[in-house]
Structure formats: structure tokens, C-alpha cells
Amino acid sequence: MTRILHFTDAHLRWNQPGSAANPLRLSRTMPDALTRLADRITEIKPDVVVMTGDLLDVPDDVLAGAPADGRPLDEWRAEIEADFQIFRDWFDAIGVPGLAVPGNHDDVGTFRRVFDDPPMVADIAGMRFISFWDELGPDRQPRRTGARRNLYDSALIAAEHDLPQVHLQHYMIDPPITSRGWQYEYRGAADMKDAMENSGRVRAVLSGHYHPGSLATGPGGLIHSLPPAFCEAPHPFRVYNIEETGAIDVRNFILSD
Ligand SMILES: [Fe+2]
């Protein structure tokens, strides 16, 4: 049995000033919430902890290279690095392997540096974890293209990847959702979903991005799981127990209970 603890969308700001524009996103309480989550990890004893993006809440204007507060970009960059370092130190201290992928509110270059250019494929507790650092297109719909698409295609058919898999990405494949005029699921999501089902290899597709969360189980038992955003009270997270048979038990947790 493999036990995975999954949380997503922390939107942390600590060294960076201010908080997320949406007041429900409790950016400044996240360092404290991480400390409390570490205690739960000690109790729950997962084999691996995964975080599917938006570790930080970097403002859009800063990501675009033009901070609206007029401060130099280098100052923001130093604060972003220090905020990622909070996560890096946390992952280093939890006592079990951890995996994270960047989201659209993270600065990918700084993320890559602070996390030492992590591998996209990791074998943990009998499963192959594959990380997809996908991006939004100009229309804000997520896309899996280029090297990431090649990795995905190969994961589903190549002999070297013939292992039970868990896929990690910030964006979701299922369910298809339109919100605020944007498509939240990948371009070509329905075909991706079918290909993963047909491969017989993928057990769980773990994502974030859509803060209300979702859980869907396909006909072959493959789950598409997005826990509700960790940054919003009561700070939810999920635990999956995956049996060798492929059977999956999903449990919902909250920090404040
Ligand atoms: Fe988010």
C-alpha cells in the first residue's frame, strides 16, 4: 500500500509584502499552517507528501516583470526566493519524501533554483511519480506541449515506464470547468483522460488550481483529485491509500477540526 498526502494552492506570502487579492486566501497565515500540517504528517505517516502548485502568491504584475508598487524587481525576487525557501526548509524537515510542482502564481525560475532543479520522474514506495510543469496558453487554458508532452506520451506507452503511476501537475484534466470566462482544464483534456485510462498504468492524477476542489473516479478506478485550496479555511488536504490492486481510498482532512 502506498499512502500519499496531498495539499495544494497555499498562496503563501511572508517575505513578500501584502496578501493575495482574494481575502479568502490567507497568505500570511501559511507559515503557521505549514507547521501545523507537519504535525499531522507525523501522525498520518504518509510515504510521500505532494504539493500541486501555487506554493506562493506572487502578484501578476511582478511575474510580468513590472512591480506595480514601484519597488525594484530584484527586491521582489529576493523576497520570492526567501518565501520558496520556507517551503524548501519545510519539505526538508517533514521526514518523508516530498514533491512539488509550480503553479501559475509561482515564479518558475526561482522555484527551480530553490528546489535544486528537481527530477520530473521519481520512484517512491512502489509507484512512479511524474511531475508535469505545464503552462497556461495566451487564452489562459492549460497546455501540455513540447518536452512535457513527450514525457507524458512516453509514460503511457514506453516499456521503461511500465509501472503504476501518479501524475502531478498544477492544472486539471478532469472535470472540465469554465469559470470567469476561462477554461480550467487542459486543451485536449478529454483525449488525455481516455489515454490515461487506456494505458492501465496511471492510478491517480493529482492537481490543484481550481480552488473549490473536485474528485472524479473513472471507470477503471483512476482518480482525478483536486483538494480544495489549502490557503482557505479550514485548510483542507487529502490522503490517498493506494493498494497494489489499484483500489484507492480517499480521505478528506482539515487542519482546524
Ligand atoms: Fe491557486
pTM: 0.97
**Which one of 3.60.21.10, 3.30.365.10, 3.40.1350.10, 2.40.30.10 gives the CATH number of domain 2-254?**
3.60.21.10
205 CA → ligand 1 middle, Å: 17
Print pLDDT tens along the chain (257 aa): 999 999 999 999 999 999 999 999 999 999 999 999 999 999 999 999 999 999 999 999 999 999 999 999 999 999 999 999 999 999 999 999 999 999 999 999 999 999 999 999 999 999 999 999 999 999 999 999 999 999 999 999 999 999 999 999 999 999 999 988 889 999 999 999 999 999 999 999 999 999 999 999 988 899 999 999 999 999 999 999 999 998 999 999 999 74
211 CA → ligand 1 middle, Å: 6
94 CA → ligand 1 middle, Å: 23
What pLDDT is attached to residue 256?
A: 77
Would you state the cell numbers that stand for residue 92, as one nine-digit string? 526538508
Domain residue limits, the chain? 2-254
163 CA → ligand 1 middle, Å: 30
Burial class of residue 187, CB neighbours in 10 A (0-12, 13-18, 19+): middle
